[in-house]
Chain A
């Protein structure tokens, strides 16, 4: 298992460096690195520090957060289809963020943006856990997820269409598909602290999730409090998905693909899958964000387009296996 973590960490580091080197300004790798670290005069340090660094940092953090929450929700719901983007948690976060932006709350206090997104995500994941729970079947989870994401998507579109701003309605695509273009360090500082707190909370659920694989009664016999586990999970997911969505929009499928690929490598142990999925998610999102800048550099291709192209076939495959009765 050690080689797996080392490989993933190296991959993330390499992709982070490539992300810093990717951009239309054509800055050489060494020049870019020097001006990033040492600063200096001219526009190059501004490009490296104010434009590319926040983009790479957010790619790392949002990807890691989505991978981590995907693995945690799948562990708790014991269902491989649970993924924040698909079952409406990110959608609810986007609705919260859009409400904060359009009501002007986020102008008053910048913190209102991650706070309302977090509230939206908490409502979404809370509803799901209440409806599907650890015992709910795949059908319940998917139906609840479809209902919540449809509601959140409609609410987001409604709020943006009601806005007096002519650009707002065009941004429905961003909130549904996600993008990291032109984010600044302000967004990093808004999103990162709550996400770290959420990651710490999810980290503590590892043992409980391991116990849960033996069944609920076995878990409670081992001293795992079901209520405590549930609340830590809901809070952790909301703290990660809310701020991540507030700055990057809804990016689906990362939390689905990554745990699915990595599960065999960690012998399906949830506590080991959590950190592995965080690293894997960071790698996937950084790679997707590099790809959108290389494929259509001038068009701001949305991240969700790429992750869906990779993830949707896998999702169908999972449904197929679930339907034919085999455990995934």
Chain B
């Protein structure tokens, strides 16, 4: 028993020492000079990075950032070289910081780290608080805390302007393949912020999941907000043309667009558009 206690003591001391060392090195690296060659490989981090980066600091954004269907900053992304999220091309850009989204390909991130590149992974922002945190976190990573505070202040002013206590009725989000979003998602947050009650709440749906068409019809939403159609045709999107949807929500169909994709200050435009 005593031997066990002694050994566990030793392990604890050793662990504490290791933790202090790790923390020390983390502080040292974050206190160091701001990164000079930053590559973003995710549509959402692309936008916040473009908003915050110093001139010349951001060397590449993802190819999706130039897609006007998904990116509200598609025009500005034209000024940056693009990457396709592949380890090889990103390594050849000689970045000192790579910013990836949570859903980035695991092997790519692991490969970059193995090659000695610092990779920071940011989770998607699904509500207003998370957007605030994301802006501050990106500001810290880029060494642009002042710019981040400025962008955040503008976002807060926009939120106050957008805030309305009006009850605009019950609305439903409906996407291809019959998916809907509840309150724990960015789309649900936008809907609530614009003054709607989300029918997904009544049905106990908090995340994004499939909702049978007949459940949606029975819920009788006052307004229907559907996903944007992509070029080409698909059966998954055909459900948005189902006659039953046109019957329950005539002339009130709205379409989600690029301002709905990412948790960035651009969600203010999505909220305004719903009013």
Partners in one complex: yes
Residue numbers of A with Cβ under 8 A of B are: 23-25, 42-44, 46-47, 50-52, 101-102, 104, 106-107, 163-168, 170-171, 174, 182, 184-186, 297-300
Q: Which of B218, B237, B247 contacts A167 (CB 8 A)?
A: B237
**In chain B, what residue has the closest Cβ to A293?**
B212
| B215 is an interface residue with CB less than 8 A from chain A | yes
* Cα distance, A199 to B214, chains bound together (Å): 32
Chain A binder among B84-92, B162-170, B182-190, B227-235: B227-235
Point out the residues of chain A lying under 8 angstroms from B101, CB to CB: none
User: Given contacts A51-B217, A184-B242, A184-B244, is CB(A168)–CB(B212) below 8 Å?
Assistant: no
Point out the residues of chain A lying under 8 angstroms from B248, CB to CB: 43, 46
Q: Which of B178, B214, B231, B237 contacts A25 (CB 8 A)?
A: B214
Interface residues of B in 244-259 (CB under 8 A from A): 244, 247-248
Contact A50 B230 (CB under 8 A): no
CB-CB contacts of B198-234 with A at 8 A, as 1s and 0s?
Answer: 0000000000011011110111100000000011111
| B236 is an interface residue with CB less than 8 A from chain A | yes
Q: Which of B209, B220, B230, B239 contacts A165 (CB 8 A)?
A: B230
| B32 is an interface residue with CB less than 8 A from chain A | no
Interface residues of B in 24-51 (CB under 8 A from A): none
* Cα distance, A182 to B248, chains bound together (Å): 15
| B176 is an interface residue with CB less than 8 A from chain A | yes
* Cα distance, A163 to B177, chains bound together (Å): 17
For this complex, 13 residue pairs linking A to B, each with C-beta atoms less than 8 Å apart, are A42-B220, A43-B217, A43-B218, A43-B248, A46-B244, A47-B214, A50-B243, A51-B244, A163-B233, A166-B230, A167-B234, A185-B243, A299-B210
For the complex of A and B, 5 pairs with smallest distance between CB atoms: A165-B232, A167-B236, A167-B234, A50-B244, A164-B232
Point out the residues of chain B lying under 8 angstroms from A166, CB to CB: 230
* Cα distance, A47 to B247, chains bound together (Å): 10
The smallest C-beta distance from A159 to any residue of chain B, in angstroms, reads: 10
* Cα distance, A167 to B235, chains bound together (Å): 8
The smallest C-beta distance from A33 to any residue of chain B, in angstroms, reads: 16
* Cα distance, A185 to B237, chains bound together (Å): 17
Extra 11 A-B pairs, beta carbons < 8 Å, given A23-B212, A46-B248: A25-B212, A47-B218, A51-B242, A101-B233, A167-B234, A167-B236, A168-B232, A168-B234, A182-B213, A184-B243, A299-B210
- Interface size in chain B (residues, C-beta < 8 A): 27
Contact A171 B213 (CB under 8 A): no
The smallest C-beta distance from A292 to any residue of chain B, in angstroms, reads: 13
The smallest C-beta distance from B52 to any residue of chain A, in angstroms, reads: 29
Q: Which of A24, A106, A297 contacts B233 (CB 8 A)?
A: A106
Point out the residues of chain B lying under 8 angstroms from A174, CB to CB: 235
**In chain B, what residue has the closest Cβ to A104?**
B233
Contact B244 A47 (CB under 8 A): yes
Q: Which of A42, A44, A165, A184 contacts B237 (CB 8 A)?
A: A165
The smallest C-beta distance from A24 to any residue of chain B, in angstroms, reads: 4
Contact B218 A165 (CB under 8 A): no
* Cα distance, A50 to B210, chains bound together (Å): 19
The smallest C-beta distance from B250 to any residue of chain A, in angstroms, reads: 12
Point out the residues of chain B lying under 8 angstroms from A300, CB to CB: 210
Point out the residues of chain B lying under 8 angstroms from A106, CB to CB: 233
The smallest C-beta distance from A244 to any residue of chain B, in angstroms, reads: 15
Contact A107 B233 (CB under 8 A): yes
Point out the residues of chain A lying under 8 angstroms from B220, CB to CB: 42-43
Contact A182 B178 (CB under 8 A): yes
* Cα distance, A116 to B230, chains bound together (Å): 23
The smallest C-beta distance from B228 to any residue of chain A, in angstroms, reads: 11
Point out the residues of chain B lying under 8 angstroms from A102, CB to CB: 232-233
Central interface residue in A46, A163, A298, by most chain B CB within 10 Å = A46
User: Given contacts A44-B218, A167-B177, is CB(A182)–CB(B239) below 8 Å?
Assistant: yes
